[in-house]
Amino acid sequence: MAETVGIPLINRAEKFYQKTALVSDNTAFSFEELLNYSKNAACFLLNGEADLNEKRVAFMVDPGAEYVFIQWAIWRAGGIAVPLCNTHPLPAISHVIEDSGAELIITSQKYISSLSQFSTQGVQLILAENLLKGKIKGILPDVAVERRAMIIYTSGTTSKPKGVVSTHEIIQNQIECLVDAWKWRESDYILNVLPLHHLHGILNILCCALWAGATCEFLPKFSAKEVWDKFMKGNINLFMAVPTIYSKLIREYEDYPEKKQKELKRILEKFRLMVSGSAALPVPVLEKWKNISGHFLLERYGMTEIGMALSNPYEGERKAGFVGCPLPNVDLKLVDENGNKTNEGEIYIKGPMVFKEYWNNNTATQEAFKEGWFQTGDRATIVEGYYKILGRNSVDIIKSGGYKISALEIEEVLLSHNKIKECGVIGIEDEEWGEKIYAALVCNGSKFPEPEKLKKWLRNYLPAYKIPAGFIEIDKMPRNVMGKITKNKLREIILKRKL
């Protein structure tokens, strides 16, 4: 009988005991090893306590088996897992640690020096190597499904990133919905190339694979060549990625000799399913990938707060540029500016997969819901029963490379530069990235900063995906009578410069 009776994902692992669960650094780990490693680590974390009782435990390790052992250990000890992004700058990481109130940080030797400052702030640092070695005896707590399990931080689309709280029950509902809709099976083998601080990589791939008894292989750092090399082995039959990754794979493929292209095409045609999400998939990318692989990519729609809500069908017609229909148990409606139900408007969501709350932010939680419906901030329209995403309600939200990015956050950082007086940041439509970020700057009388030096400076404060692709200098910001920058006018100015 399972020792952690309340966590269905972990209990199910006993059904697949000897089967390979994870492949990491060319090493295979069975479900039995996953259970054993995570149990030992959970006992280490408990350190004599009966239950962590929802203590927040942040962790930063490279994607791989070690990540999963730690995530499961936190859950089995009764804690709340708070994944950290290993590519974010220190200010972004600090915000997550401080906002979540994490008391423990688990990390590898690779990142210990950059996180050492938190040990002086009352946070205990634990080396993953110490956590996972040896055998520690102990009794694990019974963790009820209603308890908080994970806090994933948003990209910070309207202000600073908010912590999205999910319970074990919510995670279970999100998993079961996708396993059923996308026909996950024990024989599946998926390659995970996505970040593990993001719902797409954590839930859609990792958790669904483990729930089904399938195998999840990790590629810690994306490389188009390495992905194609993995495909060549012939054991992968499932792949999920963002449009940017598909674009890079297409470019790599087009450089290969015809003989290799034919072999890869033959292998890809045997895949069971290929999914694209986190950003709009440009139709030219979809068509190129179909010619290469024989697969019409399945597009879906979701977000950190709701998991997946819409999906093109696994079986049946998939429409280019559309994200399909509501998944089982998802209540969805489109609402106009007056709160009336319509065929084109903001997406409202209700269902058992919707998040519990924003961590330690009652105001934001209350503002996010209206009469029990979660207000996504995304707009859509319905055409012949299929939903098409139109964009965000706010022009200050940029969708680039699968991320929702706040233009306001980037502007705030740019304005702290001693040569910049005013700035405006917008997204420009781009086939590969969805949107590319550009910034218009008004300087304070000094020389316009060199773009590459400015990008280097920004990397001290922002993750790479939030760094603008280009900068222009203008004499005056276009503003309305209220003094607010008119982003549509700014877009016209930038486009005229032909960036």
Please report, for the domain that includes residue 469, its CATH number: 3.30.300.30
> Is 254 within a domain?
yes
Same domain, 376 and 431: no
CB count, 10 Å around CB of 123?
A: 17
Same domain, 411 and 384: no
Cβ distance 452 to 420 under 8 Å?
no
Same domain, 336 and 295: yes
Running DSSP on this structure, what letter comes out for residue 485?
B
> Is 19 within a domain?
no
> Is 48 within a domain?
no
Alpha carbon distance 244, 259 (integer Å): 26
| pLDDT score, position 159 | 62
Same domain, 373 and 288: yes
| pLDDT score, position 2 | 39
Same domain, 242 and 381: yes
Strands 148-153 and 386-392, how do they pair? unpaired
CB count, 10 Å around CB of 332?
A: 21
Running DSSP on this structure, what letter comes out for residue 447?
P
Q: Give, for 105, the enclosing helix (H) or strand (E).
A: strand 104-107
Same domain, 371 and 261: yes
Which residue among 338, 370, 392 closes a domain? 392
Same domain, 434 and 375: no
Same domain, 373 and 406: no
> Is 123 within a domain?
no
Domain housing 490 = 397-496
Say whether pTM exceeds 0.85. Answer: yes
Residues 6+ apart with CB under 8 A from 355: 164, 165, 166, 170, 304, 305, 306, 374
Running DSSP on this structure, what letter comes out for residue 9?
H
Same domain, 257 and 343: yes
Chain centroid, CA 47 distance in Å: 32
Which residue among 349, 372, 392 closes a domain? 392
Same domain, 342 and 422: no
Alpha helices in 233-361, H assignment, sequence order: 243-254, 258-268, 283-293
CA angle 61, 403, 128 (to 5 degrees): 5
Alpha carbon distance 66, 22 (integer Å): 10
CATH label of the domain that carries residue 318? 3.40.50.12780
- Amino acid occupying residue 130: N
> Is 105 within a domain?
no
Residue pLDDT tens, the chain, 499 long: 334 457 999 999 999 999 999 999 999 999 999 999 999 999 999 999 999 999 999 999 999 999 999 999 999 999 999 999 988 889 999 999 999 999 999 999 999 999 999 988 889 999 999 998 878 888 999 999 999 999 999 876 556 789 999 999 999 999 999 999 999 999 999 999 999 998 999 999 999 999 999 999 999 889 999 999 999 999 999 999 998 899 999 999 999 999 999 999 999 999 999 999 987 788 889 999 999 999 999 999 999 999 999 999 999 999 999 999 999 999 999 999 888 999 999 999 999 999 999 999 999 999 999 999 999 999 899 999 999 998 777 777 888 998 878 888 898 899 889 899 889 999 999 888 999 999 999 998 778 899 999 999 999 999 999 999 999 999 998 987 556 788 889 999 999 886 5
Secondary structure of 467-499 as H, E, C letters: CCCEEEECCCCCECCCCCECHHHHHHHHHHCCC
Tell which residue, 88, 78, 254, has the closest CA to residue 168: 78
Dihedral in degrees, nearest 10, Cα atoms 319, 292, 402, 150: 90
> Is 232 within a domain?
yes
Alpha carbon distance 260, 264 (integer Å): 6
> Is 18 within a domain?
no
Which residue among 392, 422, 452 closes a domain? 392
| pLDDT score, position 252 | 97
For 493, the token pair is: 């100015």
Same domain, 327 and 425: no
> Is 388 within a domain?
yes
Dihedral in degrees, nearest 10, Cα atoms 107, 108, 113, 119: 30
What totals of helices (H) and strands (E) does the chain contain, helices first?
Answer: 17, 27
| pLDDT score, position 498 | 62
**What total number of domains does the chain contain?**
2
Tell which residue, 463, 459, 485, 465, has the closest CA to residue 474: 485
Going 444 to 449 to 455 to 458, the CA torsion angle's sign is: negative
Alpha carbon distance 485, 127 (integer Å): 47
Same domain, 221 and 338: yes
- Amino acid occupying residue 415: L
